[in-house]
Amino acid sequence: MNTSTTRSTQQWQAADAAHFLHPFTDFQALAKKGSRIITQAENIYLTDSDGHRILDAMSGLWCVNVGYGQQALIDAATRQLGQLPFYNAFFQTATPPAIELAELLAEVSPPGFSRVFFSGSGSEGNDTIVRMVRRYWDVLGQPQRSVILSRKNAYHGSTMAGASLGGMSGMHAQGGLPIPGIQHIEQPYWFENGGDMSREEFGRVAASWLEQKILAVGPEKVAAFIGEPVQGAGGVIVPPDSYWPEIQRICDKYGVLLVSDEVICGFGRTGHWFGCQRFGFKPDLITFAKGVTSGYIPLGGVLVGDRVAKVLIEQGGEFEHGYTYSGHPVACAVAVANIRLIQQLGLVQQVHDDTGPYLAELYKQLADHPLVVETQTCGLMAALQLGRRDGKGGGTRGQRFDESWSVGMVCRGHCFANGLIMRAVGDRMIIAPPLVITRAQIDEMAVLIRRCLDLTLQDCQ
């Protein structure tokens, strides 16, 4: 029985408002408006409880890389549920799917990564990062090296450590974060912070803020630097190409571990298996989640590079850390099916050679829209910076709307009403569609985006 047909939309909304506290949600505002109830999905399209078809340009929450309804993943889960729905990886036990996934991850990871630690989510993966980098320096006899550096407007999850690593001021304001030993530098957001510099010049300057911070804290105290190759939740902020190589040089200079949070960028999003490969840097640790199972089932973890693995394995003794669901057999079986499907469909190459460049071309065309002051794409993630071009109030790259007007939310409302899921981050409209999206579907999406921009423009005239 399809449960979505057992109640009306209003009935679902009433039960939802009465019992379900949603993440990142103003509970009263939601109760007034009522949730949109999503009942089904296929390929890149969702269906809601009123039967509307919606193009999901956000892949759920940046995760449904292979699109909805992939039978291979459904079969893998069903098979594994029947055979062995759970066993743990504690106390020197393992299950075949967890071992198989660990092996497969070593195959698709950048060179120098042959080991993995599993978690249930990206946030837990980043908690593992904090514990692992501190353990690494402890084992090496440098326990004072415990400070982890990150960036403002980064998103690294919602647990205490994840939210602390993240640089979202709203999150820090609730609950006394960040936890001790985590500090932040400015982000490489050229539109906001670039002044009169070229993008490349700005990339080097933004990276130099890391060196300044390391020197201010004291290099002997800095354990690691963590960053998303492209800041996703912060607004798809694609750094200048000069940024990451310079970050790498600085980390190498001071021996600081470099952590790439690939929860969004991993598994093909940027047209490479991992975002660090797109930007040409070699991290010591990689956090992953989302795309590893295309979101069909929760799974995350940390890919551990040789430098850290060698110390932990050869000198570390017991690593007192782990989760009940580290290496969950059903999640791992789905991940294996998902990665094999990405390989079979050649999705990483397709994003790199075909759909990524095609999206970039269409976004260049969208740049002529009067409401758009900057466009950025990287593989199949993209941002439109909304603003005024009329020079009112100056600004070399366009002028921002008054925040109180919430231009992004207005635009997002038009997207919803017109069958398109786009996300608003302040005044940036962002997308990350499933990697299976075709050129024809990208055309369809671009038409919808332009229509929603037009409607937003009408509202602000």
Q: Kindly list the strands in the beta sheet with 257-261, ordered across the sheet, starting from the edge strand earlier in the chain.
A: 113-119, 300-305, 285-288, 257-261, 222-227, 147-151, 182-185
Is position 123 an interface residue for ligand PLP (rule: CB under 6 A)? yes
Q: Return the range that interacts with ligand PLP (CB under 6 A); candidates 45-53, 226-234, 341-349, 356-364.
A: 226-234
Q: Which stretch binds ligand PLP (CB under 6 A): 116-124, 410-418, 425-433, 445-453?
A: 116-124
The alpha carbon of 274 is separated from its chain's Cα centroid by a whole number of angstroms, namely 12
Residue 427 as a binder of ligand PLP (CB under 6 A): the answer is no
Q: How far apart are CA 61 and CA 301, in angstroms?
A: 17
The helix/strand/coil state of 240 is coil
**CB burial of residue 152 (10 Å; 0-12, 13-18, 19+):** middle
Enumerate residues 265-294 that contact ligand PLP by CB under 6 A: 289
Torsion, Cα 279 122 437 72, to 10 degrees, reads: 120
d(CA 283, CA 111): 10
323 binds ligand PLP, rule: CB under 6 A: no
Q: Does 264 participate in binding ligand PLP (rule CB under 6 A)?
A: yes
CA 30 to chain centre: 25
User: Could you tell me how many residues of this chain bind ligand PLP (CB under 6 A)?
Assistant: 16
Q: Which of 188, 232, 268, 356 binds ligand PLP (CB under 6 A)?
A: 232
**Least distance (Å) between residue 402 CB and ligand PLP:** 28
The verdict on 425 binding ligand PLP (CB under 6 A) reads no
Which of 102, 233, 362, 442 touches ligand PLP by CB under 6 A? 233
The reply to whether omega before 178 is within 30° of 0 (cis) is yes
Name the residue number minimizing CB distance to ligand PLP: 122
Rule CB under 6 A: say whether 157 interacts with ligand PLP: yes
Which residue of 121, 128, 242, 385 would you call a contact of ligand PLP, by CB under 6 A? Answer: 121
Q: From the CB of 126, what's the least distance to ligand PLP, in Å?
A: 6
Distance from C-alpha of 238 to C-alpha of 229, rounded to nearest angstrom: 8
- Count the Cβ atoms, other than its own, within 10 Å of residue 173: 9
Instruction: Give the separation between CA 268 and CA 88, rounded to whole angstroms.
Output: 29
For the chain, the residue count is 461
Rounded distance between C-alpha atoms, residue 412 and residue 435, angstroms? 22
Could you report how far apart the first and last alpha carbons of the chain are, in Å? 49
Kindly state the smallest distance separating residue 357's Cβ from ligand PLP, in Å.
24
- In the list 48, 56, 246, 261, the residue contacting ligand PLP (rule: CB under 6 A) is 261
Decide whether 14 or 61 has the Cβ nearer to ligand PLP.
61
Segment interacting with ligand PLP, rule: CB under 6 A, options 119-127, 212-220, 234-242, 428-436:
119-127
Residue 263 interacting with ligand PLP (CB under 6 A): yes
Cβ 61 to ligand PLP, closest distance in Å?
6
Residues near ligand PLP (CB under 6 A): 121-123, 126, 155-157, 162, 228, 232-233, 261, 263-264, 289, 300
